[in-house]
Structure 1
Amino acid sequence: MKPIPRNTKTIKNVVLFLGISMALSQSLLADSTDKTTPNTKAKTQKLKAIDTVGVRVHTGTFENTLNIGDKFLSDTQASTIRDITQADSSLEVGGGSQIASKLYIRGLEEQMFNVSVDGITQGGNSFHHQGSINLNPAIIKSITVQKGYASPESGPGALVGSVKVETKNAFDMLRGSKKKYGAILDLGAFSNFGLDGSAAVYGILGKDGILGKTGIMLYYSKQYMPYYRAGETIYGPRGFINPKDRNQKVQSSKNNSDNLVAKITTQLDEKNSFEFTYNFMTNNTITPFAANVIIPTESPLFNNDLFNNQGSFKYEYDTDKFKANWNTYYSQKKLFLYPLDGQLDEHSTATTEAEKEEAKEHDDEVRPLNIAVQTAGSDLVFTNTFGKDQSTIKYGLNYQLIYQSLRNSFVSTPHDHTPEATSHFINRGREFANVIGGFVSLNYYILDSLALEAGSRYDFYNYVDKFNQVHNTNNVSPSVALVYTPLDGLDIKLSYAYSMRGAKPTDASLLYSVDANIDPKLKSEQAQNTELDINYGGEHFNLRGSAYYQNIHNFINTYFNTNPSDEHAFLKTNMPGFIEILGYEVAGKVMYGGFSASLGVSQQFPFYKGHYGITDSFELGAFTGAVLTANLNYDIKDWGLSFGWLSRIVLTTGDFNAYNLYFNVLESYQKVGYDVHNLYINYTPPKHDNLTLRLAFTNIVNRLYINPASPRKEVFANPSDGDVASFPIYEPGFNVKFSLSYKI
C-alpha cells in the first residue's frame, strides 16, 4: 500500500496510535437499554446497570456492538435516521433529502449490512439514489449495530455487520405502570419547515392463566415537510459550497410521510410468547431523478411515491437453560417515479395518459419507473446455556427470498453499444434469489477471566438475474474471538472474522435496461475483519478504543463502466482488486450525579490496488475525514428538567489521488467537512409526569454544508467532466423543533 498523503499523515497517525495504545472508547448510546443478557458475567452486569452512554459489557457475542436506546431518541426529538445516529462518530448519514438518506457504518453503505426491523430483513434495493432503511423513531425500543462483522445468528448477507431495530409493544408502553391500557399523543412543529404528530393506543387483555395476557398496540404518525432551507455560514474550504445558495429552499427536500404500526403480543405463560407485527409506511417527495445529487444536464423533477408493507410473526420459548426463537416475515416495497410536467405547477405530476406517454420518451436514465421489491423469509434459532459461568451454544437455520420486478415498460433487446457477447440476452425485467443458510456459535468461559467466542455460517445463494442467467454461490463464514478480563471493568478483545455474501439482486432500478449487463460468472464477495477492542468502565467514567483492519475481496460493483465513452454501459461484476480499510474508534465519558460528558473520534482509511483513497461507490461506501463528537447532558430530576448539547465535527480531507471504481482510474479527490451543534431541552412537570415538553435547536450556527458521505464522484461523474457533473444535496440549516407529548 502507498503511504497516506503527507498533508494528512501526521494527525491520522497520532490519533490511530492513541486508539491502540490508550485503549479509549467510542461512546455508545445504550442509555435506556434495560434488558439483561442471559450470558452476561456477573462482574460485567454491574457495569450494565449504570444508566450511562458508553458502557460496553461482555454480551457473549464477538462483534463491536453499539446500542441506541429510546431515551436518547425521545430527548433529541429524533425524526430521521440522521437524528438517530448523530451522536456516534462511526456512523454517518448522507443524501440530504429524507428519501435519499443512506446510512454508512465505518464508511460502508447500508447495502453491505444485514438490516432488520422487528425481524423483517430489509433485503433488496429499489433505487441506488435512495436509502433503503425507512424508520420512524417514535416507537423504537432499541437499535443494535454490529460493526465490522456480525454474529452468526444475524443471518445471511451480513458481510461487514448488521443493524437490528426493535419497536415497542403494549407491554413496553405500559412498563412501570399499574394501568392495563393507555394512549400517547405527540404534536410537533419545526421552523425549517413542517409539522409532525403521532398517536398510539395500547392495552393488555386477560391475566396470568391458561390463555395468558395479550397486549395490543396501534400506532400512527404523520410528517409533512414542504421544504427545508439550506444554511447560511460556511465552514472550512468552499469545495462544492456555492454562497449564492445560502438560505435557499433545497431542491428535493419535500417529505410527506405516513406510518402505521399494529402489534399483537401474547404471553401465554412464563415460557411461551408470540408476537404479530404489521407496518405500513408511505413517503412522497419531489426530487431530481438522482435524489441525492443534482445533475445539471438532467433538470426534470420527479414525483417519488414509496409504499412499504411488511409484517412478521415471532414465537419464543424461553427457559433458564434453553431458548427457541422462530421468526417469519414478508415485505413489499413499491416505488413509483414519474417526471413532472415542466409546463405545469411544480407540484403537478404526469397524470393523464398523454402526459405519461410523453414522459416515456425521456432518455432511459430519466424514464418513469414502477419498481417492486419483495422479500420473505424465516429464521429458527436455538440457544442452550450450560456450566456455572452460563456458557452458551447457539445454532439455527435461515431462509430468505428476494424478488425484484419492473412493472412498467423496459428495454428488452440490446442497444447498438452493448457488447456483442451479450447481444443474445433478452431482458425479463425481473430477478430473484433464494438464500438458504445455517449457523452455530459458541460462547465458552475457559477461565473466570478468559472467554472463547467462535462460530460459523454456511450460506447457499441461488440467483437468477434479468437475463435468466443462474448464479449459484456458496461459502462458509467462520469467526473467532478471545475476551480477556484481567480485572473488574476491563475487557480486552482480539477477534477475527471471515464473512461471505453470494451474488443476489441489488439495484432494481437497473432492471429497465439491457445495457446494464451482468457478468455470467459472478463469485461470492468475501470480507475479513481483524480487530482489537480495549474497554474500561468505572462508576464515574469509561474509556474505550478500537483498532481494526478490514479487507473486501470480489466486491460486486453494479456500476462498473466498460466503455468510458458511454456513461450508460454498466457491468455488474466482481472487482479485480481487493479493498483494504484501516480504522479506529476512540472515546471516553465521565458522569457524576446528573451530569455527563463524552468525547469521541473515529476515521477510516480505504485503499484499493495499493492506492490510498476510494471515490464514492454506490453499494460500497463513502469515506470522510476524521469525525469528532462531543456530548454534554445535565438532568435536574427534582425539577423534571434535562439539558443536552451535541456537537459533530467532520474534518476536511487532504487533496489526493483516489481510485474511481466506476472507471478504473485515479483522480484528484478531496472531501470537505462540516460542523453542526445542537441544543436539547426537555421538561416533565414533577406533579404531572404524563406531560412532556421538548425543545430542540439544531444546526445552531446555521452551517451551509454538504454531508461528505453524500455521493461526490457518483456514477455519472466521468473524470473528464470534472466536478460539475454532479452536485450533492445541501443539508438542513438552522431549525427549531418543538413537541408536546401527553400520556393517558
Structure 2
Amino acid sequence: MFLRSYPKLRYALCLPLLTETCYSEERTLNKVTTQAKRIFTYNNEFKVTSKELDQRQSNEVKDLFRTNPDVNVGGGSVMGQKIYVRGIEDRLLRVTVDGAAQNGNIYHHQGNTVIDPGMLKSVEVTKGAANASAGPGAIAGVIKMETKGAADFIPRGKNYAASGAVSFYTNFGDRETFRSAYQNAHFDIIAYYTHQNIFYYRSGATAMKNLFHPTQADKEPGTPSEQNNALIKMNGYLSDRDTLTFSWNMTRDNATRPLRSNAIGLAYPCEAPFSPDGAQGCPNVLDSFTRYMYRSINSANNLSLQYKREAGNSFGDPRLDFTLYTSIRNAQFDPLFDPNGVYAKFPTSLASEWEKENYPCVEGAYCTPSFSDVDKPSSQPRNLFLNNTGLNLKVAHVIDEATDSLFEYGFNYQNLSVFDARIPKSELYRPNQVYTDDKGQKQIACTLVDNNPNDPTLCQRGKANGNIYGGYVQANYSPHKIITFGAGVRWDAYTLYDKDWNHRYTQGFSPSAALVLSPIEPLSLKITYSQVTRGVMPGDGVYMRQNDLRYAKNIKPEVGSNAEFNIDYSSQYFSGRAAAFYQALDNFISQYAQNLIVTNLNQAIRIYGYEVGGTFRYKGVSLNVGISRTWPTTRGYLMADSYELAASTGNVFIIKLDYTIPKTGINLAWLSRFVTGLDYCGFDIYLPDYGTAEKPKTPTDLAKCGF
C-alpha cells in the first residue's frame, strides 16, 4: 500500500484543464516504509523547497537563493549567472541534477549551472568542504537539485492532472508553461514544458524611458534570449520498498549575445601591465565585447536512472541507492560579424609601436586592424561539448534504529570529456610532428612544452578526457541521546588525458568528522571538520582551441578544508541558527593567469565568515531574518573577482515576512535582500606575478596598492 501527498503549487495565472487541478493544499510526499529518513549532516546545510520556488515564481538561477544570505548569484543575463557559496564559485562544488553530475565548465564567461527553476522540486546546499558520501570533488560544498515528479503535482484522490500557466514580466518578457501527469499504484509519469522569451533587459537608468517605443540605446546589449525547457520523469514502484526512477530534463537557450556573456569590454586592453612589452599598447582601440555579437545556442540534457531500496530494521537489510547518469552540455557560437572585417581605422601617425607591430598599418596612411587582430578568441566560431557520465552506489546499514545510527559505504565512477567540434584538423599537432608556421618556416610541434610559455609549437588535441574512481566509508553513532559522533573518509583517483597529449594522474584522501551535542531538546551544538582532495580534470571548453595555453609539468591536487561551529535552536514560535567557519583552499589549479599556464596557485586561499538567522512564527505570520558575511583572502587581501574561484561581497541581509490568510489559503509574502558595497584593494590572480588591484580595477592601480 502506498500513501502519497503533494506539495503546494502556485501560479500567476492557472488555466485548469481538469477539475481540481489548480489545488492549493499542502501535504507530504513519500511511501510509508519501515525506515525514517536518516541523514547525518557534517556540514551546514539548507534546503530550498518547491513551495519557496513557486512562491517566488522563479525563472532563472538567481531566483533560487534569494532567501539565503550566504549564497550569492553574480551576473545579469540568464547564461552569465554563477552561484557563489560563501564566496566560492560553483565550479568548486559538486553540483548534481537528479544525480547527474554537472562538473566542468563550457566557458569562464558563462554560468556553470543551466537549469529551469520551474522544474525543480528542491535544492539542497551543503556549504564548505563536504563529507565523504557527498561524492568526489566537493571541495567547497554540494548543490543537489531534484526535479518534480507526478506526485508533486496531482491533487489528492486523482489519478491524472494537467495545467497551463502564462506569465508576463515587467522587464519585458513572457513565459508559458504546460504540464500533465498520471499515476496509479505501480507507476507514475509527469511531462513538463515551458517556453520563455525575454525581449530585452533595461537598466535602472532607462527603466521608463521610451516605454512603448524604445530605442536601441534603451536596451541592454546581449540580453534578449529565448528558452525551451522540458522534463519527463517516471517512477516505477516495484514494491513498498523498491523504486525505479527515470528522469530526463532539457534546457535550451537561444540568444544573440557577446561570446563573453558576463562582460561588455576591456577599458584598457593593451595598457601596462596588460600589454606584452609593459608599455602603452593600443590607445586607438577600445575592445568592446558588444561588437562581437554571436548567435548563441546553449543546451543542457540530463538523464538518470536510479534504483532505491529502503532499509529494513536490521543491519543486514541495508538501504541501497544506485544511479546511472549522463549530462550533455553543448554551446554553439556563430559570429554575426566578419572576423576579417575592419574593426577600427586610425592614422598610422597616431599608432603606438605595439600597434604598428601587431596590426596592419601603412606608413603615411591608416592602420586597419580586423576583429580577429584585436581579439582573436572572440572571433572564432565554436561548437563546445561538456559531457559527464558515471555511476554512484551507496549502501547504508542501520546500526541502531532508535538513534538513527548508520554505517555507510559506496563507490563512484565518473567520466568527464570536453571538446570543440569546430576545431580544424590543421590546428591539431602531435608530438614531434613537423609543420609549417605562419612565416613559412618548418617547425617541430611540442618541442618546448613546459619550458617556454611563449612557445608557438604547442601540442593540441582539441579535447580533454578525465576519469574519477572513488569510494568512501562513513558512520555515525549515538551512545547517548545528547551526543552523536560521526566520521568518514573517501579516496579518489583522477586520470586526465589533456589537450596537449599528456597523461596525468592525481589522487588523495578526504577525511571528515563531526561531534553533535544536544544538552536540551530544542538546542543543538555541532563542531565539524572536513577535508576534500580534488585532482586535475579537463579545463575550460573554450581553451580547447587556445594553442598558446599549456599545462605545467607537475600539477598537484587541490585540497579544500572546512572547520565550523554551529548552534541551532528550534521551538514552537522561534527557530534560529548561528555559524562561524574557516575554510582553506590550497593548490588551486588556475588556468586564467596572464601567462596562460595551467598550474597550481602558489598563494593559499583562506576564507573566514559567519552566518546568523532566525524565524519567528505566530499563527499565520512568519518573519525570517538573516545576515551573512564572508572574507575570501589571499596574502591578507580580499580577493578580486576570480574566474572559477571566488568573489568578495559585503554584508548580506535578508528580511522575509509571510502571512497566510485563515481559511482562504491565500499567502502574502514580502522579501528584501540588501548587500552592502565594498571599497577595497583586491588580490588579483590574473595580473603578472599575481598582484593586487584596487576596485574598480585599472592597470595603474598596482601603484595605489603599494606594488
TM surpasses 0.5: yes
Q: Sort the Cα spacing of 1:37 and 1:96 in 2 relative to 1 into closer, same or farther, 3 A.
A: farther
Q: Which residue of 2 aligns with 1:527?
A: 560
**What is the alpha-carbon distance in structure 1 between the residues aligned to residue 172 and residue 688 of structure 2?**
40
Q: Which residue of 2 aligns with 1:332?
A: 328
Give the partner amino acid of 1:188.
S
Between structure 1 and structure 2, the one with the greater Rg is 2
Q: Sort the Cα spacing of 1:112 and 1:180 in 2 relative to 1 into closer, same or farther, 3 A.
A: same
Q: Sort the Cα spacing of 1:36 and 1:183 in 2 relative to 1 into closer, same or farther, 3 A.
A: closer
1 or 2 for the larger relative contact order (CA 8 Å, sep ≥6)?
1
Moved more, 61-70 or 415-424: 415-424
Q: Which residue of 1 aligns with 2:633?
A: 607
Q: How far does residue 652 in structure 1 lie from its aligned partner after superposition?
A: 1.2
SS of the equivalent of 1:559 reads coil
Contact 2:31 2:240 in 1 (8 A): no
Contact 2:131 2:511 in 1 (8 A): no
Q: Which residue of 1 aligns with 2:190?
A: 217
Is 1:304 aligned to residue 274 of structure 2? no
Is 1:183 aligned to residue 169 of structure 2? no
Q: Which residue of 2 aligns with 1:364?
A: 376
Contact 1:360 1:368 in 2 (8 A): no
Q: Which residue of 2 aligns with 1:699?
A: none
**What is the alpha-carbon distance in structure 2 between the residues aligned to residue 657 and residue 115 of structure 1?**
28
Q: How far does residue 248 in structure 1 lie from its aligned partner after superposition?
A: 3.2
Of the three residues 242, 245, 252, the one matched with 1:272 is 242
Q: How far does residue 498 in structure 1 lie from its aligned partner after superposition?
A: 1.0
Is 1:400 aligned to residue 414 of structure 2? yes
SS of the equivalent of 2:377 reads helix
SS of the equivalent of 2:501 reads coil
Q: Which residue of 1 aligns with 2:96?
A: 116
Give the partner amino acid of 1:601.
I
Is 1:457 aligned to residue 495 of structure 2? no
**What is the alpha-carbon distance in structure 1 between the residues aligned to residue 673 and residue 241 of structure 2?**
45
Of the three residues 643, 652, 673, the one matched with 1:627 is 652
SS of the equivalent of 2:218 reads coil
Q: How does 1:129-528 map to 2 (within 5 A)?
A: 129-174=109-154, 177-205=156-184, 207=185, 213-232=186-205, 248-296=218-266, 297-298=287-288, 299-321=291-313, 322-341=318-337, 363-366=375-378, 367-387=380-400, 388-409=402-423, 411-412=427-428, 420=452, 425-528=458-561
SS of the equivalent of 1:153 reads helix
Q: How far does residue 151 in structure 1 lie from its aligned partner after superposition?
A: 2.7
Is 1:63 aligned to residue 43 of structure 2? yes
**What is the alpha-carbon distance in structure 1 between the residues aligned to residue 32 and residue 580 of structure 2?**
26
**What is the alpha-carbon distance in structure 2 between the residues aligned to residue 605 and residue 168 of structure 1?**
36
Superimposed CA distance per residue, residues 478-520 of structure 1 (whole angstroms, 9 cap, x where no aligned partner) = 0001000000110100111111100001211111111112112
Q: How far does residue 150 in structure 1 lie from its aligned partner after superposition?
A: 1.7
**What is the alpha-carbon distance in structure 2 between the residues aligned to residue 722 and residue 233 of structure 1?**
36
SS of the equivalent of 1:420 reads coil
Q: How far does residue 615 in structure 1 lie from its aligned partner after superposition?
A: 0.9
* TM-score, normalised with respect to structure 1: 0.76
Give the partner amino acid of 2:188.
G
Contact 1:594 1:634 in 2 (8 A): yes
Count of matched residue pairs? 595
**What is the alpha-carbon distance in structure 2 between the residues aligned to residue 474 and residue 311 of structure 1?**
28
The unaligned stretches of length 5 or more in structure 2 are 1-25, 208-214, 267-286, 340-369, 430-436, 440-447
Contact 1:338 1:359 in 2 (8 A): no
Contact 1:183 1:201 in 2 (8 A): yes
The unaligned stretches of length 5 or more in structure 1 are 1-30, 46-57, 208-212, 235-244, 344-357, 563-569, 671-711, 724-744
Q: Which residue of 1 aligns with 2:361?
A: none
Q: Sort the Cα spacing of 1:636 and 1:159 in 2 relative to 1 into closer, same or farther, 3 A.
A: same
Give the partner amino acid of 1:181.
Y
Q: How far does residue 33 in structure 1 lie from its aligned partner after superposition?
A: 7.8
**What is the alpha-carbon distance in structure 1 between the residues aligned to residue 147 and residue 473 of structure 2?**
27
* TM-score, normalised with respect to structure 2: 0.80
Contact 1:189 1:195 in 2 (8 A): yes
Of the three residues 97, 104, 124, the one matched with 2:84 is 104
Give the partner amino acid of 1:336.
Q
Q: What percent identity do the matched residue pairs reach?
A: 28
Superimposed CA distance per residue, residues 679-736 of structure 1 (whole angstroms, 9 cap, x where no aligned partner) = xxxxxxxxxxxxxxxxxxxxxxxxxxxxxxxxx76xxx7567999xxxxxxxxxxxxx
Q: How far does residue 59 in structure 1 lie from its aligned partner after superposition?
A: 4.1
Superimposed CA distance per residue, residues 195-244 of structure 1 (whole angstroms, 9 cap, x where no aligned partner) = 10111111014x3xxxxx1111111111001201111499xxxxxxxxxx
**What is the alpha-carbon distance in structure 2 between the residues aligned to residue 529 and residue 121 of structure 1?**
22
**What is the alpha-carbon distance in structure 2 between the residues aligned to residue 90 and residue 60 of structure 1?**
22
**What is the alpha-carbon distance in structure 2 between the residues aligned to residue 283 and residue 518 of structure 1?**
32
Superimposed CA distance per residue, residues 116-172 of structure 1 (whole angstroms, 9 cap, x where no aligned partner) = 001110122111111121121223111100001223222111111000001111122
Q: How far does residue 471 in structure 1 lie from its aligned partner after superposition?
A: 1.4
**What is the alpha-carbon distance in structure 2 between the residues aligned to residue 431 and residue 718 of structure 1?**
34
Q: Sort the Cα spacing of 1:657 and 1:513 in 2 relative to 1 into closer, same or farther, 3 A.
A: closer
